[in-house]
Structure 1
Amino acid sequence: MATGTRTRQERAEATRQAILDGAATAFDAAGFGSTSLTDIANHSGVTKGALYFHFQSKEALAQELMTAQFDLVPYDADAELPGMQRAIDLTHRMAHGLRSSVRVRAGIRLVIEVGSFTEPDPTPYNTWIDSVRDMLTHAQGAGDVKPGVNIGDLATYIVGAFAGVQITSQVRTGREDLHDRVADMWTWLLPGVVPARRLARFEPAGSEGLWAAINGDGTTG
């Protein structure tokens, strides 16, 4: 590949990422309905022409951010952990993403707002539910979830519960207490779905490996 071509492609990708960052900032601040393409261009530091070159509409930008939130929060980083702990850690990873990444915040806000449109798109919710279901299926196969529990229903409940918990935390504390509230969610949930003899295996506040990855130094908190 010629150097000039590579440089143009790198500039184009940098512009695309700037647009996504600007759109995330705008959507996070004002929501989908109150954000204009002019707002996004201003936050991105690009012209409207550059914006349209990469994204044909505000809806296309929103869809990209909703889809990309799952790439920003890796699901398989702790694949060696039991399935139930992986599901717990996933919710804490999402909580951390909401507190630290404007793209994750925008993606989640858009998922919730799009879910209120006349023709809502359930794809983002279904993607998350499918990921949790896979973890819980492994957990049930290992004896960590009671045999009579419907895994699909449980996965759907967990995603819905987390959505409600994070909204309440955002309104009440600006998500300052989100990890504590997620830990509460699991503290009340686990005894109902995990055999009593297995409860001690799981940490509602997240595994040590999770917090080592979040803090970068192996500490918890």
Structure 2
Amino acid sequence: MARVRQERAEITRQAILDGAAVAFDACGFEGTSLSDVVRHAGVTKGALYFHFQSKEALARTLMGEQYRQVAEGVPAIVDPGVQTVIDLTHRMAHALRTDIRIRAGIRLVIELGSFTQPDPEPYNVWIDTCRDCLGAAQERGDVLAARDVYELSTLLVGAFTGIQVTSHVRTGREDLHARVFDLWDFLLPGMVPAERIPLFDPSGSPECRAELGLPAPDSLGVAVG
């Protein structure tokens, strides 16, 4: 019976997170009430308060979904490098278009000013992940020795954040993969030795494109070659 109760509690918790994601994605932190979450989740307020003590606790849990995306996007980081980071940005772009929890979490991160104490941790996790991958790439000559990989990673995370917001406003993120391609097409010549640039595909590796169901580069609305 205890196991059954635990399973039911977890089902309820997941329903609350799904409902919160719908509400936060639509209206942001300030525009969402706990009544909105309850309505979208199909649970009672008592059930909500059993799992989450506040709206901020709900928001921070959804923001933490990005850590899951990092972990799934770079399995154990077995082959860290430039293409790994390119693929990771396309995986995040795909998640923003298909996973409402990721979408809500990103919106909440951008709205950190809504909280009394803004939390830089979501950005720092992404920056550190990119730094680790690009540091390994630099050691084998795939990133210019003169480049500071931490500063490069900070730039990359900031650029991706701005690109996805602009894509959301302009096209509902329909062109997000094309804009990520552009980001790397412009960035690679400034970070990778010229003779090694052909080793990396701004549209994502063939394995990444197959996994995400992405079209060939010439179908992304970008110039190739």
Query: Shift in Å at residue 77 of structure 1?
Result: 3.4
The aligned counterpart of 1:174 is 172
SS at match of 1:204: coil
1:147 partner SS: coil
**C-alpha separation in 2, matches of 1:156 and 1:45:** 40
- Among the aligned pairs, what percent are the same residue? 61
Q: 1:118 to 1:5 in 2, by over 3 A?
A: closer
1:71 to 2:68 alignment: yes
Q: How many residues align?
A: 216
Q: Which amino acid aligns with 1:204?
A: P
Match of 1:26 in 2: 23
Q: Is the 8 A contact 2:90 2:180 kept in 1?
A: yes
Structure 1 segments unaligned to the other structure (5+ residues): none
Residue 72 (structure 1) shift: 3.3
Q: What secondary structure is seen at the aligned counterpart in 1 of 2:73? A: coil
Instruction: Report the Cα offset of residue 81 of structure 1.
Output: 4.7
TM-score (ref. length: structure 1) = 0.93
Report the equivalent of 1:57: 54
Structure 2 CA distance for aligned equivalents of residues 161 and 79 of structure 1? 22
Does the aligned pair in 2 maintain the 1:78–1:86 contact within 8 Å? Answer: no
Equivalent in 195, 198, 205 of residue 196 of structure 2? 198
Q: Distance in 2 between matches of 1:59 and 1:40?
A: 12
Paired residues of 1:83 and 1:136 also in contact (CA < 8 A): yes
Q: 1:86 aligns with which of 84, 87, 90?
A: 84
Correspondence for 1:108 among 106, 109, 134? 106
Distance 2:16 2:114 in 1: 25
CA contact (8 A) 1:115 1:121 kept: no
Q: Which residue of 1 aligns with 2:140?
A: 142
Q: Give the equivalent residue in structure 1 for 2:222.
A: none
Q: Which amino acid aligns with 1:160?
A: G
* Equivalent residues of 1:125, 1:159 under 8 A apart: yes
